[in-house]
Structure 1
Amino acid sequence: MPEMGAQENAALVRRGYEAFIAGDMDTLRDLFAEDAVWHVGGTGVLSGDKKGRDAVLSYFGELGTRSNGSMRVTVEDVAAGDRYTVGVQFSHAERNGKTLELRQVIVFSIVDGKVTEGTEMQEDTTAVADFWS
């Protein structure tokens, strides 16, 4: 398969965001490599590496479950370079009387038209850990 260019990778990430926002797990499944890894930094209950497409999708589902469906992501920008595609998002969620509102950056690695790796970068890792605990 030919190497995807920056424009195609940005379009793929935007499609992934649209699917995530719509709760369309079938489309997300198609966009991730089977052996994809998702990195969540910090020390919270959801931190750590999610290894394999099923574990990544399960993590996405848990965000929805733990926030009682209140998780909202607004895409602010998607930028693609030679090696990485970066999504900048604003996240809002509510849980147990708490509200989480912050900017996150996700660094995507894409190979042959599939996301192989995602790394979440939080604006405030302490706030994230407190919110999901």
Structure 2
Amino acid sequence: MGAEENVELVRRGDEAFNAGDMETLRELFAEDAVWHASGSGVLSGVKRGRKEILAYFAELGGRSQGTLKVIVNEIIGGESHTVQLQHNHAEANGRTLDTDGVITFRIRDGKVIEGREYFEDTGQGDAFWA
């Protein structure tokens, strides 16, 4: 796959994530994919395998009471790496998450094999997800 196809794959993932469409997300991730969740909070750390990654995404939805939205600013595609600039917003339990971030994706054979989150304010994220 080339850069354009990788951008489209990430865009499909964003749409599925925001819609809570776990079936589409399952199709986009390799079985042995790895996700690096930023910060030092309860949800931070490495998620190994598609099952753990999807469970993590579901936990984000649950803890945000379904309000988490990823607003994509730009997706920059490459042959094996694709970068997404984004803004995250959620409100739950009297707390607000409002932060910019970047996710780097490694893609192989049309599937995400690795994702790494980087956020402007990981402390805000750690507090929100607690």
Measured against the shorter chain, the TM-score band is over 0.9
The code of the aligned residue for 2:11 comes to R
Question: 1:86-129 deviations in whole A, cap 9, x for unaligned?
Answer: 11111111122011101111000000000000000011111111
1:123 aligns with 2:103: no
The residue aligned with 1:58 is 55
**What TM-score do the two structures reach when normalised by structure 2?**
0.97
SS at 1:110 equivalent: strand
SS of alignment partner, residue 61 of structure 2: helix
Deviation at 1:43, TM superposition (A): 0.7
- Alignment partner, residue 111 of structure 2: 114
CA contact (8 A) 2:88 2:97 kept: yes
| Equivalent residues in 2 for 1:48-87, closer than 5 Å | 48-87=45-84
Inter-partner Cα distance in structure 2 for 1:81 and 1:115: 13
Provide the aligned length of Structure 1 versus Structure 2: 130
1:21 positional shift: 1.0
1:36-92 Cα offsets, whole Å, 9 max, x none, are: 000012211110000000100000000010011111111111001243101111111
Correspondence for 1:14: 11
SS at match of 1:33: strand
Percent identity of equivalent pairs: 58
Please list every run of 5 or more consecutive structure 1 residues that lacks an aligned counterpart in the other structure: none
> For 2:28 and 2:44, how far apart are their aligned partners in 1?
22
TM-score using structure 1 length: 0.94
Cα contact 2:6–2:79 (8 A) shared by 1: no
Q: Which moved more, 1:108-117 or 1:39-48?
A: 39-48
RMSD in angstroms over aligned alpha carbons? 0.9
Q: Is the 8 A contact 2:34 2:47 kept in 1?
A: yes
Runs of 4+ in 1 over 3 A off after TM superposition: none
- Contact 2:63 / 2:129 at 8 angstroms: preserved in 1? yes
